[in-house]
Amino acid sequence: MAVYSGISMVLCLWVGVVFGVCLASAIVELPTFHHPTKGDGSLSFLVIGDWGRKGDYNQSQVAFQMGEIGDQLAIDFVVSTGDNFYDNGLTGEHDDAFTESFTDVYTAESLQKQWYSVLGNHDYRGDAEAQLSSHLRKLDSRWPCLRSFVVNTETVDLFFVDTTPFVEEYFNSPEHVYDWRGVFPQQTYTKNVLNGLEYALMKSTTKWRIVIGHHAIRSAGHHGDTKELVERLLPILRTYNVDLYMNGHDHSLEHISDDESPIQFMTSGAGSKAWRGDVTMDRKGVSFFYDGQGFMSVQLVETDIGIVFYGC
């Protein structure tokens, strides 16, 4: 186990392939959930993104493997980095896609845990508020999806950030219609998100801090870096000693290191459709890129974080 910027990267073998990765203005208070750790303070969870395709594009195969690994690691919860339902989110809270792409796909016993989900840009192309509705939680109690929130545990605080409203091009898109209810005016909304995040980070006293959003800050894949997040979110993560930033959006698995801080950028957006064949490996900091389907696991104790990518 090599210690790397304070984070231990563990190797993993799966289907004969090694994917080791190796791997102030007004105070805004984000909704906060408390999640218990295991008795010894450790915690493990899976991270999956860009998945809801009614089982197609290997979504079901990835789900099956998640079930196996979830069982081995006795995971405490699952994190979804967004783009939960393709192509255009849910049509409403009664859309059968919720059951067909979520409940009927992630059926393994080990995945019957809380899922903490954020919205992706594709989710905003449908009825975004439907995914936040308590009706879905009645259909499947694993499903709390909020725009921005905090999950507090004994060992780590996880900060979920609604990144889609930061991306300017979606507001000038003639191609797609986005559901911006609750988001206008955009500048006020994004400022409040960042204020809420800063306040929560300031108060955080856990050993580890992980921030999660749909869009990448750094990515070597098709979409690349998200410039609005590099400008507005990254400085906050650096100031408050965030350890990891996790995202989806690019349909790949990636590990990139920050050049100015110990922050590690992890992309896990490979829950279904992948193999885009569009990668820029010759950039600084990229230590791992996988273009196909898969997911990621995180195991945490007070002294170490172990991250493993699983691909198929």
- Chain centroid, CA 267 distance in Å: 8
Give, as ranges, the residues between 2 and 41 that touch ligand NAG (CB under 6 A).
Answer: none
Q: How distant, in Å, are the alpha carbons of 140, 146, 170, 261 from that of 114?
A: 10, 13, 30, 32
Active site includes 223? yes
The nearer residue to ligand NAG, 264 or 272, going by C-beta atoms, is 272
Asked if 275 is part of the footprint of ligand NAG (rule: CB under 6 A), the reply reads yes
Q: Is 251 annotated to bind ligand? A: yes
Among 30, 50, 51, 58, binds ligand NAG (CB under 6 A): 58
Nearest residue to 288 via CA among 225, 218, 214, 210:
218
The nearer residue to ligand NAG, 57 or 159, going by C-beta atoms, is 57
Give, as ranges, the residues between 104 and 143 that touch ligand NAG (CB under 6 A).
Answer: none
Q: Is 135 annotated to bind ligand? A: no
Asked if 184 is part of the footprint of ligand NAG (rule: CB under 6 A), the reply reads no
- Decide: 211 and 245 in contact? Cβ < 8 Å: yes
Q: Is 86 annotated to bind ligand? A: yes
Tell me the sheet residues that pair with 278.
none
Among 119, 229, 233, 312, binds ligand NAG (CB under 6 A): 312
The b/e string for 221-240 (b: 16+ C-beta within 10 A; e otherwise) is bebebbebbeeebbebbeeb
- Decide: 66 and 295 in contact? Cβ < 8 Å: yes
Q: Kindly state the tokens that stand for 217.
A: 């800050």
The b/e string for 121-158 (b: 16+ C-beta within 10 A; e otherwise) is bbbbbbbbebbbbeebeeeeebbbbbbbbbbbbbbbbb
Asked if 68 is part of the footprint of ligand NAG (rule: CB under 6 A), the reply reads no
C-alpha triplet 295, 210, 5: angle, nearest 5°: 90
Among 19, 51, 57, 159, binds ligand NAG (CB under 6 A): 57
* Closest distance of CB 267 from ligand NAG, Å: 17
The nearer residue to ligand NAG, 14 or 33, going by C-beta atoms, is 14
The nearer residue to ligand NAG, 200 or 274, going by C-beta atoms, is 274
State the residue number with the nearest CB to ligand NAG: 58
* Closest distance of CB 311 from ligand NAG, Å: 9
Residues marked active site are found at 223
Sites of contact with ligand NAG (CB under 6 A): 57-58, 274-275, 312
Provide the annotated binding site for Fe cation.
50, 83, 86, 121, 214, 249, 251
